[in-house]
Amino acid sequence: MDLFLLKLVATPALILLASLAGRRWGEAVGGWFVGLPLTSGPVCFFLALEQGTAFAAASTRGSLAGAAAEAGFCLAYGYTARRNRWPAALAAGSVAFGLGAAALAGPRLPLVPLVVVIVAGLATALALLPRLDAASAALPLPPRWDLPARMAVATAIVLGLTPLAPIVGPQLSGLFATYPAFAAVLTAFAHARSGPAAAMRVLRGLMIGLFSFAGFFVVLGTTIQQIGIAAAFAGASAVALLIQGGSLWLMSRRPRQ
């Protein structure tokens, strides 16, 4: 299949599955699902096909750094949402992500220290995210354009980023691809329709899901040049799903926030 057609088919299909899972099992599971590398994974795959495995391996460092920046997004959104509507909270989260990405874009940390930074950042953000007491309310049916809009945004990110990769380089390519566009959509919709407590559930699920995101890119970055694209993506996906399954089990044992 032509690469352009593959991008047009694979990316919106992944986002459709994530959105339907969120509608079926609730805000926290929706956030948890989009913690998977639904955008940055396809971006890295296409980079490997178009730019080579060495370029893709280098881009995984940017993706890992982006996971720490996403923790900043969640914290800034959460604290702003306590007293503000979703546009202000989304703006605060996006600024925090940008600042975190800028701070992490320069230093090229070795893999082990980088993973320590990510795990510590996610654990700290989970502990500090505001806990709001509110009953989970049934959400009204979303508008008909909701799913097509999410799928279009996802596809635009993939189609827009991969041609820029040779210009910005592998580190920034991986970093830009981690902006939580789909988590932002889920969070803002939950916030607008059900209040800040619902937004917190999405953000908490996202941060729990980001541990599997980190596992995916650690495996991918360390194996893709040695074993090839198909085997590396298969192994990274298996590790991510294993971590994600464990985190879902832990979420099911926690009381609802």
Give dist(CA 152, CA 134) in Å, integer. 32
Q: Which of 79-93, 105-119, 184-198, 215-229 is the least confident region? A: 105-119
Average pLDDT over residues 87-103: 88
Average pLDDT over residues 114-130: 86
What single-letter amino acid sits at 230? A
Q: Which pLDDT score is estimated for 216?
A: 93
Taking the complete model, does pTM exceed 0.85, yes or no?
Answer: no
Give dist(CA 255, CA 203) in Å, integer. 16
Using a pLDDT cut of 90, give the percent of the chain over it: 16
Between vectors from CA 113 to CA 214 and to CA 251, what angle results, nearest 5°? 35
Of residues 170 and 232, more confidently modeled: 232
Give dist(CA 134, CA 256) in Å, integer. 10
The answer on pLDDT for 1 being more than 50 is: no
The answer on pLDDT for 199 being more than 70 is: yes
Q: Which domain holds residue 235?
A: 3-253
Q: Which pLDDT score is estimated for 78?
A: 92
Q: Which of 23-37, 94-108, 120-134 is the least confident region? A: 23-37
Q: Which pLDDT score is estimated for 75?
A: 92
Number of domains present in the structure of the chain: 1
Confidence band, pLDDT 50/70/90 cuts, at residue 250 = low
Q: Which pLDDT score is estimated for 114?
A: 81
Token pair for 92: 């605060």
Nearest to 92 by CA among 222, 175, 191: 191
pLDDT tens figures, 162-183:
666 666 666 666 666 677 777 7
Of residues 51 and 5, more confidently modeled: 51
Average pLDDT over residues 67-93: 91
Confidence band, pLDDT 50/70/90 cuts, at residue 137 = very low
What is the three-class DSSP state of 229? helix
